[in-house]
Structure 1
Amino acid sequence: MPNLNDLTALALPSGRHLAADATESRLSLSLDGQPLIRLRLERDGKGPIQLDERYALPVGQALWAACYWLFARDPACQQLTWQLDQPPTDALRSGLLVSTEVAGEYRCQRTLFWQLPQPWLGTSLAGSYPQHMVISQGRRHPLRPVKPRGEVYRRFDARLGAWISLRSLEIEEDLPRFHRWQNSPRVARFWQEEGSIEQHREYLSKLETDPHTLTLIGCFDDQPFAYFEAYWAKEDRIAPFYDADNYDRGIHMLVGEEEHRGPHKVASWLSALVHYLFLDDPRTQRVVAEPRADNAKMIGHMQNQCFHCEKEFDFPHKRAALMLLGRERFFDRCTLA
């Protein structure tokens, strides 16, 4: 696992690469080998960052790259203060920077930075989809957008030194691995969905036509390792058990590949999954889950990622723990890097 204090390079989802030459008081960033921005830093890290020189990219993009590198280097950093001669118009409009009471001083808040959808988010309609209320199966909820296909999220996890990505499940491509994962005794203990490959085809086909559930494959360095279901809670079976909001999202989680288990991997993929759901629609204020109440390991992993257990309750098929994570809490405390 890389030492973030010695971070010298970061990959971007576009395929481009940031590289840094840093000292205690200077930071020079390049993009694909071309000079991007040079900064002056206070030695104690408390004073404002000053811009020495900016090169080819628009100032907003160069400032974003510098903020990304500085936050990735220090995941505990909550804000960056900038001293700039000219108002950074694009950065102010996007929310990357906010003005302060001091002339020429601006701040980048970690909680705002990680809510900017690009470059992490793939093509998505949810965030711009208009609200229109409908009733299905006796429940009133917003009409949901068409489900995305292909890759929906990608980010380089500097702590692992690996890409974490999410893509839509494709039945013909993913059925064999889904079948293998569900028939693993470890998985079957909690999912209780072991069966034939045709039973699993029917299971996935039903979800494919269900507008309230999105099936996803999680990948490390483009190698599939996990299956996730992201659902709109308002029209789900969980809705009667808590005060579900119109845009709450819920998750079901399955790690199929043994080599990708462990708390450091969970920290990466769970934060990425929640990050994706909050970016996908800014109206989503909570992510919920309902693991079995006796699944202490998963509940512990979720609590490590700032979920809290609201209560236990009884589904027809299991005793469940209601796990909740609010948008504000996630972005205030997330350790994305």
Structure 2
Amino acid sequence: MSPPRSPTLGNSELPLPDGRRLSAEGGLLLLDGAPLLCLEGADGPLHGEPPAAPEFALQALAYWRFSGDPDCQRLSLALPGAVPEALLESGLVRLDDGVPVIERAAFWQLPGFWQRGRRSAGYPEQMCLHASGRRHPRRPPKPRGEVYRRFDARLGAWVALRTLDIGEDLARFNRWQNHPRVAAFWQEEGDLAQHRRYLEALAADPRVLTLIGAFDDEPFAYYEAYWAKEDRIAPFYAVDDYDRGIHMLVGEDRHRGPHKVAAWLGALAHYLFLDEPRTRRLVCEPRADNARMIQHLQALGFARLKEFDFPHKRAALMVLEREAFFARCRLA
């Protein structure tokens, strides 16, 4: 009898956002040290007694296995009795020639443990007309507070996203925008009053959601997630109604580096795809000569489609397809 070993986690624990922890010992998957699911073997079919909360138990199992083994694409389950209809209806489990399986690409598309607060998913589609003359869906009210949290085992740290609060974040935003490294790309230097006006305008704009990224609850980055159909990028490609674009800056120098970009960029993409299942792609338009950022984007799965001219810069059009992200995502 051997536990489902993780090459990354070994014998350690995998924290959940609600404070509980997963671990494995012998043939058991444990939750806060108490048995959650009985297992037989680490590599073959997984056998178990029907857990009291089967959906949670199987979500926990999939999280443990997929987080620990980035090459594991599916789990085959050998559970006693029929698979509960709720598991099939949720998409967590599907039947493959009668065998219940959990697919990596499906599992990471479920809200699971990471999505926090209100989602755009399910908001009714009502078309309206933008000032540019483009028709687009009416956008849902923006969420408030924390929207995403996941423990990144590669960093040994929590990565989280929350909505920007002008009262709390104005001074931080002002400091970041006036950093020479950031100013070279954003060109938004200014005083507190100017930046307050900037953020208040975005808060009133249904097109844009402003976010703060944090590692272990320390703010380090600012993001703008925008609906591309209403944005100036729309004329430059075949934009879809639910495409989302992103602007990004890392304000704290000590949180730079490719390993940290992989963590926060993956989390940001994951959140936006979870927020609205109708989002088929994410786009961004870094400066065409920003080779380092383009390399980070390509490492996540963004494709460089072309270069084009904005009034203020020569830009590279970078596109991440939903299918490509979930087929290869490494969310550890």
- Tell me the TM-score normalised to structure 2 length: 0.95
The corresponding residue for 1:278 is 273
How far off its partner does 1:3 sit? 5.6
* RMSD over equivalenced CA pairs, Å: 1.4
Counterpart amino acid of residue 166 in structure 2: I
| 1:54-69 correspondence to structure 2 within 5 Å | 57-69=52-64
Higher mean C-alpha deviation, range 237-246 or range 7-16: 7-16
Distance 1:263 1:50 in 2: 39
Distance 1:262 1:237 in 2: 30
Task: Confirm or deny that 1:50 pairs with 2:85.
Answer: no
Task: Confirm or deny that 1:88 pairs with 2:92.
Answer: no
Q: Which SS does the other structure have where 1:173 is aligned?
A: helix
Counterpart amino acid of residue 14 in structure 2: L
Counterpart amino acid of residue 134 in structure 1: C
Contact 1:212 1:232 in 2 (8 A): yes
- Tell me the TM-score normalised to structure 1 length: 0.94
Distance 1:210 1:13 in 2: 30
Match of 2:220 among 214, 221, 225: 225
Distance 2:289 2:106 in 1: 36
1:201–1:5 Cα change, 3 Å = closer
The corresponding residue for 1:124 is 118
Match of 2:71 among 56, 76, 85: 76
Contact 2:50 2:80 in 1 (8 A): no
Give 5+ residue unaligned stretches, structure 1.
Answer: none
Counterpart amino acid of residue 17 in structure 1: R
How far off its partner does 1:124 sit? 2.0
The corresponding residue for 1:310 is 305
Task: Confirm or deny that 1:99 pairs with 2:103.
Answer: no
Q: Which SS does the other structure have where 1:230 is aligned?
A: strand
The corresponding residue for 1:214 is 209
Counterpart amino acid of residue 145 in structure 1: P
Q: Which SS does the other structure have where 1:309 is aligned?
A: strand
Shift >6 Å, 4+ stretches: none
The corresponding residue for 1:18 is 22
How far off its partner does 1:32 sit? 1.9
How far off its partner does 1:320 sit? 0.3
Contact 2:127 2:135 in 1 (8 A): yes
| 1:62-211 correspondence to structure 2 within 5 Å | 62-89=57-84, 90-102=86-98, 105-137=99-131, 138-211=133-206
Give me the identity figure in percent. 59
Distance 1:41 1:91 in 2: 23
How far off its partner does 1:118 sit? 2.4
